[in-house]
Amino acid sequence: MLRAPRAVPAWLAHPFRWQRLPVPWAAVARGALCAGPLLAAGIATGHVAPGVLSALGSMLAGVNDRPGTRRTGIVHIGLPALATAFGMLIGASLQTAGAGWWTVPALFAVGFLSGAGSVAGPVRSNAGMQMLAAAILGAGMPLPGAPWEKALFVLAGCLWLLLLRLVVRSPRPAGGALSGERAAVATVFDALADALGAAGGPGAEPARRRLTAALDRADEALRLRRLTSRLLHRPARTEELLLTERFAAATALCEASVALLWEARPLSSRVADSPRRFADALRTGGSPGRLSAPETSTAARGAFDQALLDAAVVFARREPLPAPPRQPAPAAGRPAWMTLPGSVLQGALGAVGGRTRRGRGLFGPAGRDYGLRVAVCIAASAAVALLLRPEHWYWLPATTTFLVKPDLGPLFSRTVNRFAGTVAGVLLFAAAGLVPAGAWWPAVVAGAGGALLPFATRHFALQTVAITLMVLSFVYASGAHEAAAERVVDTSIACGIVLVVGHLPRLADPRRRVGHRVTAALHGTEEYLRHVLESEPGTDPTRRLALRRAAYRALGEARAAAETTAAELLAARDRNPDWLTVVTAAERIVDAATACAVRLDHGAHRPSVAEAERLCQALSAMADALEDPRRPAGPPGPDLLPVPDCATLTDVAAEVERIRGHAGAS
């Protein structure tokens, strides 16, 4: 009898995962016009050091050149660019003072700040990583110039890419200056159509998560647009207000659709394709045309049809509704953007309000552990490098920088892909050096690596190939013609250090690295559930929609952290909560609460205050228990289950019990 083959462990399968993404041709063109031409200009004018530094800055900025509107590009590229220049200033100052063993504690401090900032969101995490990499390269690369000059050259390279981001972009669709924001909102309707088409099938939950991601991107784009208007003291234009109203209609339609998805009944293709008509109308500037016929078989279907009708009315308008009363002016001495609730900078940098702020501080438990992990790895690799190869020591800790950040992927997977990508990049660079091309061939290789970098975001090994080609080009152009084999040896040592140090018991504790995000997500879920159950009929749904968006956003962050942890090589995996199951249960609670809100709006039985409070307190207790295992996890399970006359809340109680069971593994 043949035995069924055992599934490949996630930590072993993850290095081979490949993201399926469209080719960003505009970003490829920008990459080709960045590092290569800047390095070529330095070689042609005889100012190699400025050329290398500006090309280095453009390369680091190119890592952050991701799809999005121009304004999101300014945030995602500009903020890390400032951190990169600051890191180069620190590193170059260390080099000017004379590199020695005291560099190790200095890099330990920079590494701690870089790692601790990882808890605050992806933009700040990238900024911290690039600040650390620039500090190491500034301290180790023997380039002439004052520290402030080096920092300005690096910043100039970043700004060159930012300028290209504003000039070289994909063909503009209908929508004029709002084309990026309009496309982001259209993507929400497309994702909603996909989710409705998957209703009742196994792909419903993944489709709903893709819908949540699309809502996050559109929300960020529109908030940044409003932020720009307020900073410039410019009143919003008619088309901006209309697009904001259409996004609000999309958000309301998504809420009703979540209730349909919760019912898990397959829908007709006409119903599923109705939101796609709105997407086409946004892209073409036309009208959505005929929509699906209304039906009132269930409260969720009635709410969906009503939201569909409301969206059609919004799309038919050519003038926005009158603006609500203006809020009080900002307090004296405070910038306008600081008074924007949930501004894009808060979302991008990862700041959240209320109870979800727990554990996300720079010196909170998670920040300390993140920072300590990065700092120890950087200090150890710098010490080993100074001992083995003091004249070219920077490669080893620089390699460690791109490996050790705990929020960028499983450690084992990144280590394997980093080594494979470095070997491939060194071989390609050595092969390019055999082609007779004079003194220009490093610039050509750097240009090819820059063009490859946007495409390479789909796999870390391919991204490593592109970065290795570019960095070797910079090093070769600056006069360091040592054998490329040294780079492979240094990368091997860095991988070994990261695997050993990164898996030390305290530094690899997933309760620290994931628990604070799951706790924040559960508190956001509880806050949304409480608002749904306690708000009176006829209450303005704006607050409810905002809480639901915040809950889904926190759950998305928690899911990403849990998926990374699930693919880690951990010896004590069975002693930790089943994070993915906890997050999935919390997502279902938010879905069920949304369905409950829709039913309550349509006259369903409202649960008693005691029933509502019992569920909310149990969920809050579970969040506190995950944050601190010594706390009790709330009342016994059977007290939660019977919720009379409200099927959605019975499901909420069941999912709370599910969280209790899977979180009890600790």
139-158 confidence digits (pLDDT tens): 988 888 899 999 999 999 99
Contact 77, 162 (CB under 8 A): yes
Q: Which residues contact 6 (CB under 8 A, 6 or more apart)?
A: none
Looking at residue 4, its pLDDT comes to 40
For the record, the structure tokens of 211 come out as: 């819908």
Contact 35, 446 (CB under 8 A): yes
**Mean pLDDT of all residues in 410-415:** 84
Is the pLDDT at 485 greater than 80? The verdict is no
Give φ, ψ of 144 to 5 degrees.
-75, 160
Looking at residue 535, its pLDDT comes to 79
DSSP structure string for 24-50: -HHHHHHHHTSHHHHHHHHHHHT-HHH
Residue found by looking up tokens 């050509």 in the block: 444
Residue found by looking up tokens 């300590």 in the block: 372
Indicate the pLDDT class of residue 52, thresholds 50, 70 and 90: very high
Is the pLDDT at 509 greater than 80? The verdict is no
The closest of 47, 50, 37, 131 to 90, measured between CA atoms, is 131
Is the pLDDT at 440 greater than 90? The verdict is no
**Mean pLDDT of all residues in 65-84:** 84
The closest of 205, 206, 207 to 190, measured between CA atoms, is 207
Is the pLDDT at 277 greater than 80? The verdict is yes
The closest of 261, 191, 195, 188 to 218, measured between CA atoms, is 188
Indicate the pLDDT class of residue 418, thresholds 50, 70 and 90: confident
Amino acid at 118: S
The closest of 344, 74, 340, 121 to 223, measured between CA atoms, is 344
Looking at residue 190, its pLDDT comes to 93
Measure the CA angle with vertex 662, ends 577 and 121; round to 5°. 50
Largest CA distance in the chain: 81
Indicate the pLDDT class of residue 91, thresholds 50, 70 and 90: very high
The rounded Cα 155 to chain-centroid distance in angstroms is: 24
Q: Is 24 exposed, middle or buried (0-12, 13-18, 19+ CB in 10 A)?
A: middle
Q: How many CB atoms lie within 10 A of CB 586?
A: 28
Q: Which residues contact 150 (CB under 8 A, 6 or more apart)?
A: 53, 88, 89, 92, 138, 143
Looking at residue 211, its pLDDT comes to 92
Least confident interval from 268-282, 318-332, 459-473: 318-332
Looking at residue 189, its pLDDT comes to 93
**Mean pLDDT of all residues in 72-79:** 85
**Mean pLDDT of all residues in 80-94:** 93
Measure the CA angle with vertex 492, ends 491 and 494; round to 5°. 60
Of residues 251 and 402, more confidently modeled: 251
Residue 104 CA: distances (Å) to CA of 94, 377, 490, 491, 646: 11, 11, 17, 19, 61
Say how far apart CA 316 and CA 186 lie, in whole Å: 16
Percent of the chain whose predicted confidence (pLDDT) is above 90: 18
Looking at residue 627, its pLDDT comes to 67
Is the pLDDT at 644 greater than 50? The verdict is no
Q: How many CB atoms lie within 10 A of CB 632?
A: 8
Looking at residue 637, its pLDDT comes to 44
Of residues 346 and 45, more confidently modeled: 45
**Mean pLDDT of all residues in 492-515:** 76
**Mean pLDDT of all residues in 385-411:** 82
Of residues 352 and 121, more confidently modeled: 121
Of residues 403 and 409, more confidently modeled: 403
Helix (H, G, I), strand (E, B) or coil at 166: helix
Is the pLDDT at 84 greater than 90? The verdict is yes
Say how far apart CA 248 and CA 314 lie, in whole Å: 10
Looking at residue 524, its pLDDT comes to 92
Helix 122-140 crosses helix 147-167 at what angle (to 10 degrees)? 140
Say how far apart CA 528 and CA 545 lie, in whole Å: 9
Looking at residue 85, its pLDDT comes to 94
Helix (H, G, I), strand (E, B) or coil at 236: coil
Least confident interval from 11-20, 208-217, 226-235, 555-564: 226-235
8-state DSSP, 650? H
Looking at residue 372, its pLDDT comes to 85
Looking at residue 403, its pLDDT comes to 83
Give φ, ψ of 532 to 5 degrees.
-60, -45
Task: Classify the phi-psi angles of 145: left when phi > 0, otherwise alpha if psi is within -120 to 50, otherwise beta.
Answer: left
Is the pLDDT at 638 greater than 60? The verdict is no
Measure the CA angle with vertex 124, ends 120 and 125; round to 5°. 85
Is the pLDDT at 469 greater than 60? The verdict is yes
Say how far apart CA 9 and CA 145 lie, in whole Å: 50
Q: How many CB atoms lie within 10 A of CB 272?
A: 21
Least confident interval from 140-144, 616-620, 639-643: 639-643
Indicate the pLDDT class of residue 361, thresholds 50, 70 and 90: low
Say how far apart CA 405 and CA 40 lie, in whole Å: 32
Looking at residue 303, its pLDDT comes to 85
For the record, the structure tokens of 248 come out as: 């609000």
Looking at residue 108, its pLDDT comes to 93
Handedness of CA 135, 140, 145, 147 (dihedral sign): positive
Of residues 518 and 406, more confidently modeled: 518
Say how far apart CA 541 and CA 553 lie, in whole Å: 18
Q: Which residues contact 394 (CB under 8 A, 6 or more apart)?
A: 136, 137, 139, 140, 141, 385
Amino acid at 504: L
Residue found by looking up tokens 């280590």 in the block: 415
**Mean pLDDT of all residues in 167-172:** 64
Indicate the pLDDT class of residue 86, thresholds 50, 70 and 90: very high
Amino acid at 529: L
Helix (H, G, I), strand (E, B) or coil at 287: coil
Looking at residue 98, its pLDDT comes to 72
Residue found by looking up tokens 């490098």 in the block: 385
8-state DSSP, 577? -
**Mean pLDDT of all residues in 601-607:** 75
Looking at residue 53, its pLDDT comes to 94
pLDDT, tens digit (0-9, with 9 covering 90-100), for 5-46: 456 777 777 778 877 777 788 888 898 999 999 999 998 888
Looking at residue 181, its pLDDT comes to 84
For the record, the structure tokens of 408 come out as: 């960028």
Contact 613, 650 (CB under 8 A): no
The closest of 338, 642, 407, 457 to 67, measured between CA atoms, is 457
Is the pLDDT at 340 greater than 60? The verdict is no
Is the pLDDT at 169 greater than 80? The verdict is no
Average pLDDT, the chain: 79
Looking at residue 332, its pLDDT comes to 39
Can you list the alpha helix ranges (DSSP code H) found in 405-504?
Answer: 411-433, 441-455, 460-477, 485-501
Looking at residue 494, its pLDDT comes to 87
Say how far apart CA 148 and CA 416 lie, in whole Å: 37
